[in-house]
Structure 1
Amino acid sequence: MLQTQQVLDNRYQLKEKLAENAGRQTWLAQDLSTQEDVVVKLLTFSDQMQWENLRLFEREAQVLKHLYHPRIPEYRNYFCLDDQLFYFGLVQEYIPGTSLKQLLAQGKVFPEPEVRKIAAHILKILIYLHGLSPPVLHRDIKPSNLLLGKDSRIYLVDFGAVQDRAAKEGATFTVVGTYGYAPLEQFGGRATPASDLYALGATLIHLVTGISPADLPQKDSRLQFAHLVRLNPGFARWLEQLTQPNLERRFKSAQQALEALKANQNAIKVASPRLPESCVWLKKSPSRLQIKLPVPWRKVVTSPRNWLVVAGFGFWLFWLSVLTNSSWMYWLWLTGSLVLAAWFILPVLVETNVYFDHQQFEIQVKVLGFRIKQQRGNVLEIDKVFKSDSGGFGKNKIAEVTLAVGVEEYSFGRLNPPLSHDACRWLVNEIKHWLGL
């Protein structure tokens, strides 16, 4: 029986037991040769021990020996110990800190900005691991294996389920991973870099919701979490793609996932509210995107066509008052002139407001402050955002922004004067990145 203050391998003095389960023990110890704190992981050899456990333990030691990353604890030593029971020991660098599992148990709420940073840090570690030859797969990413160091940095620990080579076809395999965090293909013995991405996504969902993925409702094997917490729709979509049950629908690599995360991060930053040489106003935050296409009063006043209409209207009024003595004829022509003026001028006075939040979008169209049209829909059901053209021919076609929601399409931006094609493309890109499309 191992005890505090006991010295192992004539070098490592045990200070505190950190964990124990299924023939494994993890101790905080002091390396007497360097006076540094280290972590000593021990595997007990017994009749009940499965040989596969020893194989995984030795693999962890061999893999860690060749890993050099500032966010992965360094390998220090590997030894065997015969002390009544036979132990295999693995020594690693000690990182002072607290696991994310402990923080969750303490009731910590992880806000979206903090979870984004954690995601970026782990993705950078995975880019390193998956980029090795052969790729190294962690296969057990979860809150207990992510450590928040006292230096406020995130570390990936416990490589006990690591895989550093592809499984041979027809070979037996050991199921590793934790239910709720590991994807289905991993329980079938097939693990790929995208399997680590699924586990990362499930972990991040646990952090933002406070609920273990094993306890979340599912639909078609997909975790349902967006209704439980207020998230930027783009970030929610990003998490959904990480945790797609279908391997082919996930991000193909940690690099691709990181680039998508950065694109959405840039999209939610507050930028210039106005596109140069355009009347488009845009205001955004992680939780809300607002687009305003106001009445371009300068163009209303200076438009030659508007002045022509007004002049023509005044001309008709003048001659009608001179040439006709019939009051009903006068009012008939007056009404017609007003209708004609409205036909040309009112389209210029159209104001469009578009709102997106974490749940729904709304398109409002107003004329002279009166709302004449309103459309709403579910933000997470938007499949596509694109620039569409309507009316006219060639360069005279009018550009619009279109939201595709299933078989329905919602368009806005058809103004008089119309939006430029460049402004329309700019709007489409801003919306797509904010939504994570």
Structure 2
Amino acid sequence: MGADVVLRARRTVVGGRETSASVHVRGERIVAVEAYDALVPEGARVVDLADDEVLLPGLVDSHVHVNEPGRTEWEGFASATRAAAAGGVTTIIDMPLNSIPPTVNVAALEEKRAVARDQAYVDVGFWGGAIPGNVPDLKPLFDEGVFGFKCFLLHSGVDEFPHLEPDQLEEAMRETGSLDALMIVHAEDSHAIDHAAAADGEEYDRFLHSRPRGAENLAIAQVIELARWTGARAHILHLSSSDALPMIRSARADGVRLTVETCPHYLSFTAEEIPDGATEFKCCPPIREAENRELLWGGLVEGAIDIVVTDHSPCTEDLKRFDTGDFGQAWGGIAGLQVGLAAVWTGARQRGHALTDVVRWMATGPADQTGLTDRGRIEPGAMANFAVFAPDEAFTVEISHLHHKNPVSAYAGRTLTGVVRQTWLHGTPVDLDADPRGRLLTRGQS
């Protein structure tokens, strides 16, 4: 079968292993994966990777807050997708908040798609939202191609996206179960947090105790039981409490349809190293202790945690309240879309894990979770989306080099290992100085 382009790499992640290969591309898709020195089809252009580069599939990040329309000063489709491309991410799925309107009905979805259509440097899909009273909107949204539905079990941080009480969550999950749609849950129990210590002030330890592990554990147990009763598919967002791992394992052993994610910041940072007043580290649920971090790594390696996604949740500089350093008042969210791959690889290699593991956690796994099974892998028939990655090159994160809109990053000044030198989308390198070529995706359609 003919090819337009052949990418040759001494190191390529293919089929869960690292090998030398030549990847043959025709149009937008991979048509063959051959030996490194295989015959090049007549007329094909050859792209040889450097000896220190590895060809990876483009990453899929299924947890990104773009915030446009409505809070475009926080982030927007142009800036977010530029950051994604710079970080080797070729597909993002946008969360239904913090945009205004939130994506809780078809009209809001259409408004968001209209804004995103001509701005995306990578491919973009959308989650719908489940809020009180919108169960009748879930099927129409699903029919329109959202990848599933997000809900909160406590205040979301924005009033236009209210949380579900337990009876409302059950009602929504019975509906998503009938659709075989995925319900993705911000799992912290509102009543437990209402009774926890207040978060006000500069002390990180005080903020940490305002979002206790118990609140997360309790909510996850509730989601598990509702998934068990309803038969619905459930996904736990941004797991930060390692205490929940035993019940996750037990639920799966019982056949509960449950998947789990964690994020680069939970695998990278520890509560002990966060200075008081350093509100760039505030996120919810919070970054916890070093021992907890290592247990999360263990859960990831054993498979209790399925995927790693960024939960890219940026805001304007003033909302982080650097003027006061007050964790109670600062917006909770970490902008990590551009550096997620490097952050996870830095931690993974320190613990003896391979690039094949990182690809499973950040590319193949999220692609499979969202049904985009022709992404996140290098194989015939897959989209020709790639990241050219230099795994041994170190760099220090500088705010000025990040493409997201606001100069706020928990990673600023941190030395990471692994540089994305080029990102390919649809068989062609992404050019951030050219017009964007990303597409809007619907469930079941690439």
TM-score normalised to structure 2 length: 0.21
* TM-score normalised by length of structure 1: 0.22
Greater RCO, 1 or 2 (C-alpha within 8 Å, sep 6+): 2
Task: Pick the structure with greater CA Rg.
Answer: 1
Point out the structure with the larger strand share: 1
